[in-house]
Structure 1
Amino acid sequence: MVQIINLLFNIFYILILARIIFSWIRVSPYDPTWGPIMRFVYQVTDPIMEPIRRIMPPMGGLDFSPMIVLILASVLRSVLVNMLI
């Protein structure tokens, strides 16, 4: 069970990092190669990042919500793994 939790959180971390990279390189959502991947990443991560973005909007052009999501996910992962051990 711990391995499954770790796998799911690792996939989630990769999706958040992909979202950060997509925001830096500005891929067009209509690009035939990267567009579908980008839309998938945004669809999966938006429900988690939007509530944090409402509480803490981007400041000075910097969006700190991915960092906060990664920190909260790390804490949640530790709690879940410790409960199962």
Structure 2
Amino acid sequence: MISLFQILMLILSVAKFFIFAHFIMSWLISFQVLNLQQPLVAQIWYGLQRLLDPIYAPLRRILPNMGGLDLSPLVALLAIYALEIILRNNIALFY
């Protein structure tokens, strides 16, 4: 059962990595450091968007409209950290 705990923590870590990568890439694109006209950048960007949209879409419906500011990645990261805390505090259930 401890392997189930480790697998869940790995999935949460990978999700955090993808959210951070998407966040950093969005800043680099908005400051024109990266260009979406480049095929590799466009593939990575649209792949991350397709991967993270099922997580962000329900959060965007709940959160108020903040103009150009998207708080859904922040809320998603907070939810992932909360899940990690819950899993670590209940690790005894996995033994």
- Please indicate, yes or no, whether the TM-score normalized by the shorter chain is above 0.5: yes
RCO higher in structure (CA 8 A, sep ≥6): 2
Q: Tell me whether 1:45 sits opposite 2:52 in the alignment.
A: yes
Match for residue 7 of structure 2? 4
Equivalences, count? 84
Runs of 4 or more consecutive aligned structure 1 residues displaced over 3 Å after TM superposition: 80-84
Pair member with larger Rg? 2
Match for residue 39 of structure 2? 32
Unaligned runs of 5+ in 1: none
Q: Is the 8 A contact 1:49 1:65 kept in 2?
A: yes
How many percent identity over aligned positions?
A: 35
CA RMSD of aligned residues (A): 1.8
Unaligned runs of 5+ in 2: 30-34
Which TM-score applies when normalising by structure 1?
A: 0.81
